[in-house]
Structure 1
């Protein structure tokens, strides 16, 4: 008897969801474990994620699903010290804004400020250029084993975990997700399932209604500090208007808004933030890290500043923005990128030598 059978199988779980009954964490975990071992049919998978979304995922359900995702993942063995200090900057995607790679650029700025970053991401799904696409265009080696990512974090201050490498079981859900073409709970789980098990997160959500549930699940899974943010329809803190923040700090949750104008950042329109193909976005990253002023820099330092607060490097967002600008203008952020390129390529070469 499988774990799912112990809970009545798919008919019992789907009936409960259709009756708008919440699942227990154990039921949700059993369902996801079945999906991630390839033992769910496409019809069962689609029925489950659509019924779950229609009802609305609870923190307990998300926590159970996340348990199964993490159990199936390949782990990046960061030291306990690094795991407690390191941060991930990531978004759920799905905002259709086609903006530049804000989180990825901000992550490099944060690394330049001396905060270890273990970033988790993938190639573009609904946009032209995802985190992996722009990093690859910049020359970063992506498909590194766990020891390669650890080496990058330790030697460059930033490492990148390519989602398909560290969550290979997600491949069982990929075709069905693409066929239905709507955001599902998988969009929430990816940003929370960092392979390095980092305990600090800046997560952008395209749908602000999921923020509270995500933060509650992060809390259950040991996050010490996290911000879940949403800005005028995009999964970042934005400079196009006010953003909303739900923050986990000292085991307490608080909500507040961020007005970029009050922080001395010029307001932008969404068109100014639009990105392009990977080579175009890579050029934007280089220009921002090189000190170019304008709308791209402003949204990057806003998000990097927030991450520096979450990392406990500063206490206020204004201080975080100032430190982010210093990371750029001193050249430290560019150095972080160049080190990531060099160390990742060296790790890839070492992997090839080991495998020969």
Structure 2
């Protein structure tokens, strides 16, 4: 099989390209994930979609193909909270593990999934390791109150290969958005999606609506799924695809006691331990994010029972 007929449709530039149907997008992405196409075709697909941009139907199709190939996490008694971690830390401490531990302390199972996508940034695994949270060796159920970390390669090797294309061509591709939208769980879940630029807020919201997801969407810390400890971002929610505003957000930056000044993983891990022990206060923005995630989880649980 080949995808050149799809590339002809999407590769005509931003103005001339035509969007694929959800079914066509699923077929195209399935071939890419399965390694059924040449490296040249993969590069052409990545660059064409980068220039054109994904429609909500196309991204839904990509998610359909990915879902069929995931090593799925078994459902738990309570909804799984999914924290994608792909941006890492450039200037600010990486506090995605803090968010995960706070949510888990409230009794929910939490899954962090990710991989390093930029060599110049700190990855979440570097902070998780000193917190004694090591990558799972295989997909398994996650207990209530547990934080687990799984690599993208374990979830879907083809997806990891596609993310790695960035190292060759130098620009992000559709996979970098997809990993922040996908649900790797067999049961109900709350997906915490994040964006770096305002235009992604609209496109990601459209996909959550199209997929009927229960999710949170916010402008996270350097693209991570955790609120900036120093300020309160806008937080939007989706309950089975229905949008709702969770937090309007506030302007301004505040000082946070004890917050590390850089990205050092050992210093960050030590700070997280201090917050969890009560030695340092929970940053207000992250505390609010936890509250909203818990409410979304309740909504996901209610929806599953109906």
User: What TM-score range do you get, normalising by the shorter chain?
Assistant: 0.7 to 0.9
Q: How many Å apart are 1:65 and its aligned residue?
A: 0.8
Structure 1 residue 309 and structure 2 residue 295: aligned?
A: yes
Report the 3-state secondary structure (helix = DSSP H, G, I; strand = E; otherwise coil) of the residue aligned with 2:217: strand
Q: How many Å apart are 1:29 and its aligned residue?
A: 1.5
Instruction: Please say which structure displays the higher CA radius of gyration.
Output: 1
Q: How many Å apart are 1:169 and its aligned residue?
A: 1.2
Structure 1 residue 258 and structure 2 residue 249: aligned?
A: yes
> Which TM-score applies when normalising by structure 2?
0.81
- The answer as to whether partners of 1:211 and 1:228 remain within 8 angstroms in 2 is yes
Residue number in structure 1 paired with 2:302 = none
Structure 1 residue 187 and structure 2 residue 179: aligned?
A: no
Distance 1:216 1:253 in 2: 10
Distance 2:103 2:160 in 1: 31
Q: Which of 23, 28, 36 is matched with 2:25 structurally?
A: 28
- Compared CA separation, residues 284 and 41, structure 1 to 2 (3 A): farther
- Compared CA separation, residues 221 and 202, structure 1 to 2 (3 A): same
Q: Which of 31, 56, 80 is matched with 1:86 structurally?
A: 80
Report the 3-state secondary structure (helix = DSSP H, G, I; strand = E; otherwise coil) of the residue aligned with 2:290: helix
> Which TM-score applies when normalising by structure 1?
0.71
| Structure 1, 53-62 or 177-186: larger mean CA deviation | 177-186
Q: Larger RCO: Structure 1 or Structure 2 (Cα < 8 Å, ≥ 6 residues apart)?
A: 1
Residue number in structure 2 paired with 1:335 = none
- The answer as to whether partners of 1:89 and 1:201 remain within 8 angstroms in 2 is yes
Q: How many Å apart are 1:42 and its aligned residue?
A: 2.9
Structure 1 residue 57 and structure 2 residue 44: aligned?
A: no
Structure 1 residue 199 and structure 2 residue 189: aligned?
A: yes
Q: How many Å apart are 1:114 and its aligned residue?
A: 1.4
- Compared CA separation, residues 240 and 180, structure 1 to 2 (3 A): farther
Distance 2:292 2:96 in 1: 11
Report the 3-state secondary structure (helix = DSSP H, G, I; strand = E; otherwise coil) of the residue aligned with 2:184: coil
- The answer as to whether partners of 1:206 and 1:233 remain within 8 angstroms in 2 is yes
Q: CA RMSD in A?
A: 3.1
| Unpaired stretches in structure 2, ≥5 consecutive residues | 300-306
Aligned 1:1-356 pairs, distance under 5 A:
2=1, 4=3, 8-15=5-12, 19-79=16-76, 81-82=77-78, 85-91=79-85, 93=87, 97-123=90-116, 125=118, 128-147=121-140, 150=141, 153-154=142-143, 156-197=145-186, 198-223=188-213, 225-230=214-219, 234-235=223-224, 236-249=226-239, 251-255=241-245, 257-259=248-250, 267-268=254-255, 274-293=261-280, 297-312=283-298
Runs of 4+ in 1 over 6 A off after TM superposition: none
- Compared CA separation, residues 88 and 155, structure 1 to 2 (3 A): closer
